[in-house]
Amino acid sequence: MQFEAILAILGEFGRYQKIQFLFIYLISIPIPWCSLSNTFLSASSDHYCRVFANETFEDRSPLKNCTIPYSHDSGWDECYRYNVSLSGPGDVSPDVCFPRGEKIKCDHGWVYDRSTYENTAVFDFDLVCEKDWMKQLSKSIVGVGQLAGALVLGQLSDILGRKPVFFTGIILIAIIGTGTAFVPWFYLFIVGQFLLSAVGNGVYLTAYVIGVELVGAKYRTFCSVQIMIAFSVGYMALAGIAYGLDGNWRHLQLVIGLAYLVFIPYYWLVPESARWLIQQKKYDKAEKILRKAAKKNKVSLPDNLFEEEKANGKRDTTDNDVTIKPGKKQNTMIDLFKTPNLRCRTLNLCFSWFTCSFVYYGISFNTDTLHGNPYISFLIAGAVEIPGYLSSWWACDKLGRRWSLCLCLILSGLSLVACGLVGNSTATMVLAMVAKLFSSGAFGAVYIFSAEIFPTSVRNAGMGISSTLARIGTVISPYVMLLVSTWTPLPYIIMGATSFLSGILTLLLPETLKQKLPESIEEGEVFGTKKMSLQYDKEDTEGQDSDEADDTSSKTPLLSDKKNGKRY
């Protein structure tokens, strides 16, 4: 018995599914702590050269005037000091300070403004001046970790099962997160950030799959959006936790690690994916889970659910029960680039994914550099994601996928360019948050759009390569902010121009709303062209029931079961 048929009896989103989805929703909340916490862990502040031990930061004083060069254009020098010898503030005198000697590099470390952050990795490891690139490395390594987690743990979850990867990830985050709080060297800190982002992303993707694999097609979009909203809730909560800990990076890292101990009971509460078990021909285990679900939903399943499968050795090879016939050629990622239309669309979508991540993390990682309180900036940056996701969901169904993605990218780009050019601190903050709202909406739209443009036979491959390009955008985004030293608005103009260009290019893609979606590479090549219309008109005249065609085309299905005439 096919899984979709079982769901029709079980209920697409019954009591059992709601309980399991609640578990997934809750663990999605602390997931952003594994990647976005670096905004606070590696936050910087005003600093200048230390001259003697136990020196404290001062905005302006005779001591600072004596030891630190000052310019009306750039303010107090952060990387050089005057070559004077002092043992304390009592040594400051005109004879010692004037005439000022030559400027030398900070040879005794730095003094940091700790009014906002009690202690960060930048303070502990002196990641300033010629080591500023190391601070950016600690941010970009998060993107590398996310890429590794998606590739390795995503593959392992298909081979070993969702639950083993999911629960092992929870334990690893607890261990790595706690251990990273005590590292004495910068390079161990980097390793910790890489592993946390890798495992965190793997857990998030696995949780996402578990969350949607047990619900019917009608509720998958709803569940997807809710998981994204849970991520945003955790995003906002992180600002409050960091503020409560006075911006002490070691305390924050320790809390992140210990928080995951709360989810250890998930080993007994969250079952393996029944879909995955069926695909692996583990019918007895799948039936046990499904009958437990039926009991919670107060329905009865037929006896011998998988009697035919056990007898014939049948095995579904995709999440939507598309049976691949023996000997049929399996398409790969390379097939996306063999034909001209599909190649151009794949590259276009990859650029959209790159842009979404480039802008999203470019803003997220650098909220501490915006004017105003960094904790409030970070909180608002998380809060604006929720209306971004909800409005994108609405726009995709009302305006279409293409125009929704196009408008989100263009508006995000224009907001970023304006953010860089305006001088008012309040306006800069507002425009950055508007850009964040639209970049979140673009992320929500590109997920749906991509899944509908890529043909069924290479859909997972297409999403995989798109996600890879997105992580490259994450890696690059922190380094673009270094250009602020060249011209303050430059990073925002680069991000804005990239987003605007991507939005324009989106108009070259075909609309997928209420369209019959491509199944094969051949259909993907002609999708959205006149050839597609002629092809489908021909199919309709060869016996397709018109009522069934209208019904299936209005549901924007993602996958098809040609054998049974079903579309999901």
11-44 residue pLDDT tens: 889 999 999 999 999 999 999 999 899 989 999 8
Is residue 399 classed exposed, middle or buried when 0-12, 13-18 and 19+ CB atoms within 10 A define those classes? Answer: middle
Distance, CA of 416 to CA of 363 (rounded, Å): 9
Could you name the CATH architecture of 1-44+127-327? Up-down Bundle (1.20)
Three-state secondary structure call for residue 482: helix
Residue 31 is predicted with a pLDDT of: 93
Residues 6 or more apart whose Cβ sits within 8 Å of residue 377: 367, 368, 370, 429, 432, 433
Q: CATH homologous superfamily for 329-532?
A: MFS general substrate transporter like domains (1.20.1250.20)
Distance, CA of 500 to CA of 518 (rounded, Å): 28
Three-state secondary structure call for residue 507: coil
pTM of the model: 0.78
The partner residues of 174 in beta bridges, in order of sequence, read none
Look up residue 432 and give its two tokens.
């950055």
List, as one string, the DSSP characters of 53-79.
TT----SS-HHHHHHS-EETTTEE-SS
Distance, CA of 87 to CA of 406 (rounded, Å): 61
Mean pLDDT of 54-72: 87
Distance, CA of 363 to CA of 430 (rounded, Å): 12
Distance, CA of 227 to CA of 29 (rounded, Å): 8
Write out pLDDT tens, residues 345-361. Answer: 999 999 999 999 999 88
Residue 176 is predicted with a pLDDT of: 96
Mean pLDDT of 182-193: 95
Write out pLDDT tens, residues 155-174. Answer: 788 788 889 989 999 999 99
Distance, CA of 511 to CA of 209 (rounded, Å): 26
Please check whether residue 123 is in contact with residue 131, taking contact to mean a CB–CB distance below 8 angstroms: no
At residue 199 the predicted structure's pLDDT band, cuts being 50, 70 and 90, is very high
Residue 371 is predicted with a pLDDT of: 65
Please check whether residue 277 is in contact with residue 285, taking contact to mean a CB–CB distance below 8 angstroms: yes
Write out pLDDT tens, residues 227-260. Answer: 889 999 999 999 999 999 999 999 999 999 999 9
Q: Are strands 47-49 and 110-112 parallel, antiparallel or unpaired?
A: antiparallel
Write out pLDDT tens, residues 74-129. Answer: 789 999 999 888 888 877 877 778 777 789 999 889 999 999 999 999 999 999 99
Residue 364 is predicted with a pLDDT of: 83
Residue 474 is predicted with a pLDDT of: 86
Least trusted range by pLDDT, from 131-135, 176-180, 319-323: 319-323
Sign for the pseudo-dihedral over CA of 351, 352, 357, 362:
positive
Residue 338 is predicted with a pLDDT of: 87
Residue 460 is predicted with a pLDDT of: 60
3-state DSSP helix/strand/coil % of the chain, to nearest 5: 65, 5, 30
Distance, CA of 217 to CA of 238 (rounded, Å): 33
Write out pLDDT tens, residues 524-553. Answer: 888 877 665 555 454 444 444 444 444 433
Residue 329 is predicted with a pLDDT of: 57
Q: What is the dihedral of CA 208, 209, 210, 216, to 10 degrees?
A: 100
Q: Domain map of the chain by residue range?
A: 1-44+127-327, 47-113, 329-532, 533-567
Sign for the pseudo-dihedral over CA of 162, 167, 170, 171:
negative
Look up residue 336 and give its two tokens.
């996306």
Distance, CA of 439 to CA of 391 (rounded, Å): 12
Whether the predicted pLDDT of 327 surpasses 50: no
Distance, CA of 358 to CA of 29 (rounded, Å): 22
Q: Which of 182, 157, 89 is nearest to 460 (CA)?
A: 157
Buried b (16+ CB within 10 A) or exposed e, 279-309: bbebbebbbebbeebbebbeeebeeebbeeb
Q: What percent of the chain has pLDDT over 70?
A: 87
Please check whether residue 48 is in contact with residue 81, taking contact to mean a CB–CB distance below 8 angstroms: yes
